[in-house]
C-alpha cells in the first residue's frame, strides 16, 4: 500500500496519479486477482511478502487500512502500484491510475 502520488516516471514512462483510498486490498493476498503483471519479478515478490493476509495490516475505527510498519514497510509496498498492469491485481477500485509521459 503506497499512499502518495508520485511524479517519478517508471522505466516504461508511466507516471502514477491519484491517491490511496486505504481499502487495504493490496495488502491481502487472498483478495488479489491474477493478472498479466504476475510474470513480473517485483510483483511476485510483493505477493510473496503479503502472503494471504499481511500481518501488518490493521483497520482503524473508520475502516481505513493502516500499516503498522508504515515507515519501515517493504520496498515493494512503497511503490505498489508501479505500473498499469499492477492494477489488474486489485479486485476493486484502486485510488491510483497512470498517465503516460513522453
Ligand atoms: S488497492 Fe490501491 S487504494 Fe487500496 S490500499 Fe492498495 S494502493 Fe491503496
Ligand atoms: S507491510 Fe504494510 S503496506 Fe506492506 S502489505 Fe503489509 S500492511 Fe500492506
Cell of 72: 519501515
So where are the chain's domains?
20-92
Whole-prediction pTM: 0.84
Considering every ligand atom, which ligand is closest to the CA of 50?
Answer: 2
> What confidence tens digit (pLDDT) does each residue in 58-76 have?
999 999 999 999 999 998 8
Q: Is the dihedral of CA 18, 21, 22, 26 positive or negative?
A: negative
Residue 65: other Cβ atoms inside 10 A: 20
Q: Whose CA is nearest to atom 1 of ligand 2?
A: 73
> What confidence tens digit (pLDDT) does each residue in 80-97 have?
998 898 898 887 789 999
Q: Whose CA is nearest to atom 7 of ligand 2?
A: 57
Amino acid at each position: 500500500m503506497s499512499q502518495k502520488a508520485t511524479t517519478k516516471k517508471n522505466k516504461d514512462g508511466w507516471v502514477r496519479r491519484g491517491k490511496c483510498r486505504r481499502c487495504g486490498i493490496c495488502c491481502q493476498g487472498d483478495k488479489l486477482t491474477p493478472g498479466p503483471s504476475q510474470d513480473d519479478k517485483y510483483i511476485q515478490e510483493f505477493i510473496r511478502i503479503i502472503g494471504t493476509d499481511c500481518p501488518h495490516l490493521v483497520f482503524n475505527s473508520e475502516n481505513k487500512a493502516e500499516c503498522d510498519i508504515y515507515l519501515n514497510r517493504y520496498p515493494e509496498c512503497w511503490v505498489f502500484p508501479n505500473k498499469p498492469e499492477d492494477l489488474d491485481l486489485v479486485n476493486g477500485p484502486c485510488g491510483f491510475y497512470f498517465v503516460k509521459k513522453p
